[in-house]
């Protein structure tokens, strides 16, 4: 009986489920203060300025490192930043949390901070995600709600523990319960504190 089971097992192997795990996590007080120190440092200001300039260069078709990709659709806009020189893994992590810090300064509130680990065919992808919503308040029920720029998701993607890219995605509400979202170009200016 074992021989037949072994033979059948070799002919019809069980499909192995790929691992996928999602968890919430917290940024420690030390990490928060390190990110704020990085933002205020010459290095932080230099790299934020570089990414900001590369975004604007990309809008006219010029690519510089680190490369910035522009995401456009009627209800979602965003940008993605490739992990390239002169960014270090530490800079990449600080940039991720620095964008989140800027959203808090714009009046947004953080809804979640989570990490997802996924087994791909021959790799492991780790996605850390910050999710922000605008402060919804309306003086009256018959007045539209100000959505500011919309909901914002910031993702940091690593493949096999190597940084890959950051993505900032803004999605807007399109029904009449909400005021029209502010322009994405203004969001970019505010995100980079310009």
Q: How far apart are CA 124 and CA 131, in angstroms?
A: 22
Question: Which pLDDT score, from 0 to 100, does residue 10 have?
Answer: 66
The pair of three-digit structure tokens given for residue 132, joined into one six-digit string: 């922000």
Q: How far apart are CA 77 and CA 185, in angstroms?
A: 10
Residue of 22, 14, 54, 3 whose CA lies nearest to 119:
22
Coil, strand or helix: which one is 136?
A: coil
E strands in 94-150:
109-119, 124-133
Question: Which pLDDT score, from 0 to 100, does residue 13 have?
Answer: 65
What Rg value do the Cα atoms of the chain yield, rounded?
21
H/E run at residue 29: helix 29-40
Q: How far apart are CA 76 and CA 96, in angstroms?
A: 19
Indicate the pTM of the whole model.
0.87
Question: Which pLDDT score, from 0 to 100, does residue 108 have?
Answer: 96
From the DSSP assignment, how many helices (H) and strands (E) are in the chain?
A: 5, 7
Mean pLDDT by 10 residues, the chain (194 residues): 66 70 91 95 97 97 96 94 97 97 95 94 94 80 88 97 97 90 96 89
Residue of 177, 127, 151, 166 whose CA lies nearest to 76:
151
Residue of 97, 107, 121 whose CA lies nearest to 25:
97
Q: What is the DSSP letter of 193?
A: T
With beta carbons less than 8 A apart as the criterion, state whether 130 and 154 touch.
yes
């Amino acid at each position: 009986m074992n021989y037949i089971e072994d033979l059948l097992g070799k002919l019809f192997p069980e499909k192995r489920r790929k691992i996928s795990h999602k968890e919430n996590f917290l940024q420690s007080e030390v990490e928060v203060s390190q990110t704020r120190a990085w933002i205020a440092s010459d290095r932080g200001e230099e790299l934020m300025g570089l990414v900001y300039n590369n975004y604007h260069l990309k809008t006219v078709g010029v690519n510089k490192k680190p490369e910035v990709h522009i995401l456009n659709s009627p209800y979602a806009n965003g940008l993605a930043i490739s992990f390239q020189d002169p960014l270090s893994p530490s800079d990449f992590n600080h940039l991720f949390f620095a964008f989140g810090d800027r959203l808090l300064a714009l009046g947004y509130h953080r809804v979640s901070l989570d990490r997802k680990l996924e087994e791909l065919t021959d790799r492991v992808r780790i996605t850390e995600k910050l999710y922000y919503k605008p402060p919804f308040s309306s003086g009256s029920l018959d007045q539209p709600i100000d959505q500011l720029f919309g909901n914002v998701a910031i993702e940091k993607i690593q493949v096999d523990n190597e940084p890959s890219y950051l993505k900032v995605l803004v999605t807007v509400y399109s029904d009449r319960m909400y005021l029209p979202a502010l322009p994405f170009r203004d969001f970019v200016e505010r995100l980079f504190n310009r």
